[in-house]
Every structure is written in C-alpha cells, then in structure tokens.
Structure 1
Amino acid sequence: MTMRGAVSRRSFTAGLAAAGLAGGAAAPARAQRAKYRLRYGTAFPADHPGAVRIREAAEAIAKATNGEVDLQVYPNSQLGGEADMFSQVRSGALDFMSTSGVNQTIVPVGGINAVAFAFDDYAKVWAAMDGALGAHVRAQFAKVGLHVFDRMLDNGFRNITTATKAVTGPDDLKGLKIRVPGHQLWVTMFGALGAAPTPINFGELYAALQTRIVDGQENPLALISSAKLYEVQKHVALTGHIWDGHHIFTNAKRWAAMPEPIRAAVTQALSDAALKEREDILRLNEELVATITKAGVAFGRPDKQPFREVLRKAGFYADWKGKFGPEPWALLETYAGPL
C-alpha cells in the first residue's frame, strides 16, 4: 500500500531513500557488524508515519551504539498479523512490535484508551497516556512479562466511512454492516449503537468494501488514505469516536538482558520517534481532509453528544467500567471527564 498524493510523499518519504530510511530492513554492511540484530514488526503500511519514524529511529540507534545494534523494521504485517506478532514478542521470538487492540486479550485494561467518545482532543489524550493512566496500563503489562515504552505512537482518532448513505447521527448506524477490528470494545460499541459490527482483518478490508461484504468501516484518516479506502467509500463522518494509539512492546526478560547503554539508546530513539510521529499524524490529518475531498469523498462532522447518549442509555459505559475496574476507570475520567 502506498500513500497517494504529494502531501504524504513530501511530508514523510521525500529524502528518506537518500538517507537510507526508505527500505524495510537495514543495510547489509550494518547488519554484518552489528552485535545485536533486532526485528521490529508493525501492521502500519511502509509509508505511514508509524513505520517511517521507526525506521528513522533504527538509524539513530545504529549511530548512538556505534553500529552495535541493527534494528530491522518490517511494516505491512510482513511478520504476521498483529495477534501473531504480539504472540511472538511474548514468547521472545520477535524483539519489538506495536499494536493497540490485540493486547486486550492478555491485559484487558490495555484497551481503556479506546473507550468510545472518551477523549475530545489530543490535549486530553496525551495528558492521560503520558500521565497516570498510561503508567497504570504499562504496569499491568509488566506483570505479564512485557516491557512497554513510555511514549505511544498515534494511530489517530477513528472516523466512520460509508459507501452510500452518510452517517449524520446514531440513527444512521442502525443495521449498517460495518467492519471493525475483532476487539470487544469496538464490537460492543457499534452493537449498542444499533449497527452490525463485522470483524475483518485489515489486510482484507479493501476487498470486503469493494465487494460489499460490509457497507462501511472506521479508521483514522491516515489509514483511510494509505489503504486507499476512499476509492470504495464515498462518505466520511468525522466522528472521532475512538482514539487509537499503539503501544510499543518488547519481551521484558530479553529487554532486561541487554546492557543498560543499549537499552538507553533504544528507549531514547523510540521515544523521539513517537513524538515526531504524533506531530506527523496531526499535520497529516489536517491535510488529508482536503486531499480525500478532491478524490470525490464527502465529509461530515456529526454532533458527538447523541452517540454518547445512546451508549449511556444502552449501559455501554457502565458495563466497561465494571470490566476495567474502578481504579483505571477513575483515572480515565480524571482526564476525559464523567462518562
């Protein structure tokens, strides 16, 4: 998959080839002299900022460690789906990966950032995830043998796209066959809103939309663009219903076995990459509204409050408060306000 248009190319990939950042793996010469040969897997497309900035981090790590560390980056789910890569990291077969939803099967509170309509803006998102809520979540992953880096990657606020009928309010979702990731937060949210949520792997999504297996889907604008979903969808509702971020994971035992200077260099580079990637997504989201509109797609900005009211009446928030527990829910509401 490639990001279409001059915006993404200029912003994220111009000059990367010359800098040695555009390839999926490190240069052979660097790999040969490296003492630590590490692999990083991601489902992000190769030219998504979430992959581009990690490749940039790999170069920074090599430089900071005098070539001792060769971090090879594999985008586009080259090493398997997110669930597969997450399992590989847990077992120590894969060194690093980033994901959002699949980790909830191991640590349910790992998905608390995705509570529907919890965050109104990025100021609240980063206050929470770089603050006490994020620290609580990371501590739960540590209990199951995973080291999670402090800075999350931004996957963006998720928005609804449809092929024919625009979504202007919750009534428009009734009966809509909408593709969702196979995570209970998504499934229960859209079920409570009256839709027919259908889990489909992201790699199969374009074909599912094209053949009308589903009528709509929901993703951040950067993924709607990079996967060219706008080619088979004609309406985007900027619902921002879920903020979706990627934790960066590694196996805690393998991580602890690395020398402290190596860990420090990797941590610094991945932190810098995450902060730059956040800026990329923010800028890209603003630009992509214009870019996708030019492709013939209509945008709408539904009022979020009616969606919240339907979810509240359906017991969605009460149910998930019970599942996550009072402590993390209180932390969430510290930043998001009462739900």
Structure 2
Amino acid sequence: MPTRRALVSQAGATALATPFASRRARAQAAVARMSMGSPMPQAHPASTCLVEALDAIRADSKGQIDITLYPDSQLGSELSMQSQLRSGAIAFTLTSVSSLQTLVPLAGIPGVAYAFPSYEPLWAALDGGPLSERIRDALGKFGLRAFRVVDNGFRHVITSVRPITAVADLQGLKIRVPPSPLLTSLFRALGASPTTINLAETYAALQTRVADGMENSLPQIEATKVYEVQKYLSRTGHSWDGLWILAHGRTWDALPRDVQTLISRHFDAAVGKQRQVFARMDAEGETRLRAKGLAINTPDREVFRAALVAAGYYAEWKAKFGPDAWGALERYTGPLGA
C-alpha cells in the first residue's frame, strides 16, 4: 500500500499533466489524471456519491478526464489538504465548513451554533443569495473555486462518560472537535475542554481516553464506528456542518469550457444525490445506533442556546464576522443571540 507521502507526490505529479488547449490537442493527449483529497470515510455518502460522479465523468469523457478520490484522509489532514490544494499539488478537495474557517474565516459562518432550525433555510442560504455569494467570493480570494456543498448534518455529542442532559454535564469533558474556531469557541463557552484531533485518528483517541467524547452527525458517527468505544449519544444538534467541493483555481481555469461543464454537471448531481442519501441515513440513524448499544437522549436545546447567549458567544462572532455578513446570515435564520 502506498504511503501518504507517495500518494501526495503522485497527486502533485499528475494534476496538471495534460494540456487542454483544444479539442484536437485533447484527442491526441494522454489521459488527464487529477486527484481529489477527502477526510471522509469511504462508506460516507459524500465518498460513495463522489466516486459515482467521477466514474461518470470518466465514462462521459471516454477516459480523457480521470479524477481519483482519496478518502479517509489518505492525503493528510484537512488543513494539509487545503494547503496542497492552494499550491496546486492536488486539483480538488472536499473540505469541511468547520475546518475551512481556519483558512477563510467567513466560510465557517453556516456553522454558528443553533443558527439554522432546519434544512430549508440552510440550503436557501448556501445554494444562492447574498450569504453564498459572500462565502464564494472569500474562497475565490484564496484561489479556490467552490462548487455546491455536501451535507454532513447537524452535530450531536457522543461520550463514554455520561449523557449530556444539561449544560453542567459538559463541564470539563474533553471533546474532540475538528480544527474549527467556531466549534472550539462553542464548547469552551459551555464549559467543556475541546481538543482538535484529526478525524482518521479519532477512534483511537476515544478508545484510549485521550478524549472523553466527540461531536458529529449520526451518519458520521456510524461511518467512523466510534459507537464501538462510546456509550452515550446526546442529540444536542448544536451546529451544522457540510463540506465544500473545491478546485484549485488556476487548474480549473486552465480546463476548456466543455470540460468544466462536464465536471460541474456531475458534481452538482452528486451533491443532490448525496443530500438525499444523507437525509435517509440521518433519519434512520438513531434506530440503528440504538441497536448497536448506544443510550440516546434528546436534551432541551434552548437551554444550551441560552447559555451561549449569556456567555457572549453570539456577540463575539457577530463582531468577528462583521455586521454585513451577520446580517446576510440572519436573513435566513432570523435574529441570533437574543
């Protein structure tokens, strides 16, 4: 099995291997091999739906466009893959809203705690309109071309210590979070001790009690199998997270228009299918996780939101994002922090 360094080297060596100057040149050229990195497990619908899309791109281009997905952090952590994408070492990546905030602060704004009550206003905000435009413009300034957002769901807390029924239950708990300033701030405001651990290393960290628990969506909890080493799942629904499909801007701009159209069409279809598959998995997840032995509870979420208001969480992030961006968010969520 190739090492992570070998995979990254391979990705960088092939991402720009084929010129796309004309139809004639494409017909005469070797296959254009490009790479896509992803932190998501192979069984996650984000991975399975993208693999189907890449197969379709390969088929429709008669093998001329060959994009390989490397799931499960094979090319490194999310922050490492973001760096590789910006340098052009890889052509595409799937990267979470939460971790992308460390590079592009505004990218994290959909993950503000308890901002979206449901998917209807969320997709309205991210599939078009002023908030989406602001985020895409911010990503563009870092040389990134954004496609649609893959769903990774509303997040919940799973622990080996105790169920979370009230804010006091979080006091002092070491909770694994992605490298997200918003999530780190959220759990600190609630009295927990958030710790950043790479997703691929989280199972071992929970098994060895490096962390007392983690927070994620039900399908992600299933995909990572952390239910094997945890006992309690609390449906806190504290934040939403998704993943942008991103391209290296210069690599994308170098592609001919018909190739861009082909890739975009299949990426858009993959996102639409992924959201549907994810919604079914999420709806059925609690039943499956109960069957695997988890004790599941649903606490009063307004208690947690009130604690965040009192701790100044919303005031802090309104100041950081700025009144214009915050206003664009509240256009879909209603007033936050009151």
Q: How does 1:98-247 map to 2 (within 5 A)?
A: 98-100=94-96, 101-132=98-129, 133-149=131-147, 151-247=148-244
Kept after mapping to 2: 8 A contact 1:173/1:195: yes
Identity %: 45
Determine whether 1:302 maps to 2:299. yes
CA distance in 2, matches of 1:223, 1:181: 13
- 1:64 — aligned with what? 60
Q: How does 1:30-109 map to 2 (within 5 A)?
A: 35-100=31-96, 101-109=98-106
Q: Which of the residues 271, 285, 288 maps onto 2:285?
A: 288
CA distance in 1, matches of 2:50, 2:119: 21
CA distance in 2, matches of 1:60, 1:316: 44
Kept after mapping to 1: 8 A contact 2:102/2:179: no
* Number of corresponding residues: 307
Kept after mapping to 2: 8 A contact 1:97/1:249: yes
Kept after mapping to 2: 8 A contact 1:34/1:70: no
Secondary structure (helix, strand or coil) at the match of 1:105 reads coil
- 1:13 — aligned with what? none
CA distance in 1, matches of 2:285, 2:78: 26
Measure how far apart 1:226 and its partner are: 1.1
The one-letter code matched in structure 2 to 1:302 is P
Kept after mapping to 1: 8 A contact 2:177/2:214: yes
Determine whether 1:274 maps to 2:271. yes
CA offsets per residue over residues 45-85 of structure 1, 9 Å max, x none? 11111111111001111222232201111111111111111
- 1:265 — aligned with what? 262
The one-letter code matched in structure 2 to 1:160 is V
Measure how far apart 1:143 and its partner are: 1.5
Kept after mapping to 1: 8 A contact 2:39/2:200: no
The one-letter code matched in structure 2 to 1:307 is F
Kept after mapping to 2: 8 A contact 1:222/1:281: yes
CA distance in 2, matches of 1:268, 1:98: 17
The one-letter code matched in structure 2 to 1:164 is V
The one-letter code matched in structure 2 to 1:69 is I
Secondary structure (helix, strand or coil) at the match of 1:78 reads coil
CA distance in 2, matches of 1:293, 1:57: 33
Kept after mapping to 2: 8 A contact 1:34/1:69: no
Measure how far apart 1:328 and its partner are: 1.3
CA distance in 2, matches of 1:35, 1:164: 52
CA distance in 2, matches of 1:43, 1:259: 29
Determine whether 1:250 maps to 2:247. yes
Measure how far apart 1:215 and its partner are: 1.3
Q: Could you state the TM-score of these two structures normalised by the residue count of structure 2?
A: 0.88
Kept after mapping to 2: 8 A contact 1:34/1:67: no
**RMSD of aligned alpha carbons:** 1.4
CA distance in 2, matches of 1:182, 1:105: 7
Measure how far apart 1:135 and its partner are: 2.0
